[in-house]
Structure 1
Amino acid sequence: MSEQADDHQGTSDDLGELFARVARQQRRATLSALEPYGVSPHQARALRQIIKLGPLRPSKLAEQLHISLRSATDVVDALVGAGLLIREPDPGDRRAILVSATPAGIQRSEQIGKVRAEQGEAFLSALDAADRAQLRRILQVLDRQPD
């Protein structure tokens, strides 16, 4: 590989910074897209997970989302306050609670899913089909790495 081509490739530090910069752009776009729905990306993720898995204890939600129990509790509190989740006693252990989505929570999650898909499409519109396929393949490789 020539020096010029090597310079064009950049260092892994440059690539890491570029990746972080693009991730920040995507996050800002997502925050903006979700603003009218009154939920954060973390809350939207939690809502989606609860709908997918059914009623969960907050500790199980924390485990699923790879966040602390305290963070999961904050997310649940916000979603309950917005009327998107409800807390109910766990029939298997009356001392514990389960959280589940309300009909409004399911509807909101569906709306958010559509908005996120549209926002993602707009964000990736600069890429042609071949570039998207390559990006998907690369991200899947990175996603399979252990935490």
Structure 2
Amino acid sequence: MDDLDADLLEVLRSVQWRLRRNSHGDAGDLGVTPAQGRVLRVVGRCGTPPRMGEVAERLHIAPRSLTDLVDPLQDAGLLRRTPDPGNRRSVLLELTPRGASVLEELHQRSRRSAARAFAVLAPEERRHLLALLRRVEAAVDDPPTGAGRG
């Protein structure tokens, strides 16, 4: 990796960290940690209640770690666990009305944080940055054939 690639990676990590901190750093008043907020987001993005294993996979964490995040969310009345009618060994997660309200507030905070951060760019610059980042994202999701083989 040359210096430019390393610099790009470091700046992307820094921007991502700062955006997350600015939009969710004060989410304690909502009764959720940033990690719990990510759980709510994943569950909220699914069209139907997802299995816990699916949520853990999407978050790239171990199922046991997800249990540690879900327990307090359920205790706070933000999520509910229900048996999966299609698989007795699986548990589904669904937002409660209160959980949906907290998730909406988290979305609003994220939007405000992003608007503040990207206000330094003109609309055309933002569109160009989005197009460039989507190209990079696609390349990361689908590495060239033979990549990583040695």
Tell me the TM-score range normalised by the shorter chain: 0.7 to 0.9
Residues 21 and 111 from structure 1, CA distance in 2 versus in 1: closer, same or farther, beyond 3 angstroms?
closer
Q: Which moved more, 1:125-134 or 1:86-95?
A: 86-95
For 2:20, the equivalent position in structure 1 comes to: 27
Residues 69 and 97 from structure 1, CA distance in 2 versus in 1: closer, same or farther, beyond 3 angstroms?
same
For 1:38, the equivalent position in structure 2 comes to: 31
Partner Cα separation in structure 2 for residue 50 and residue 118 of structure 1:
22
Of the three residues 42, 54, 59, the one matched with 1:49 is 42
Q: Partner amino acid for 2:45?
A: K
For 1:60, the equivalent position in structure 2 comes to: 54
Q: Partner amino acid for 1:126?
A: V
Partner Cα separation in structure 2 for residue 129 and residue 70 of structure 1:
43
Partner Cα separation in structure 2 for residue 93 and residue 132 of structure 1:
45
Of the three residues 128, 131, 146, the one matched with 2:141 is 146
Contact 1:30 1:41 in 2 (8 A): no
List runs of 5+ in structure 2 lacking aligned partners. 143-150
Rg: which structure is higher? 1
Deviation >6 Å, runs of 4+: none
For 1:13, the equivalent position in structure 2 comes to: 6
Partner Cα separation in structure 2 for residue 52 and residue 15 of structure 1:
29
For 1:136, the equivalent position in structure 2 comes to: 130
Contact 2:24 2:109 in 1 (8 A): no
Q: Partner amino acid for 1:97?
A: V
Shift of 1:66: 2.7
TM-score normalised by the chain length of structure 1: 0.79
2:117 counterpart of 1:123: yes
Shift of 1:140: 0.9
How large is the Cα RMSD of the aligned pairs?
A: 2.1
Equivalent residues, number: 138
Q: Which moved more, 1:15-24 or 1:131-140?
A: 15-24
Q: Partner amino acid for 1:137?
A: A
List runs of 5+ in structure 1 lacking aligned partners. 1-9
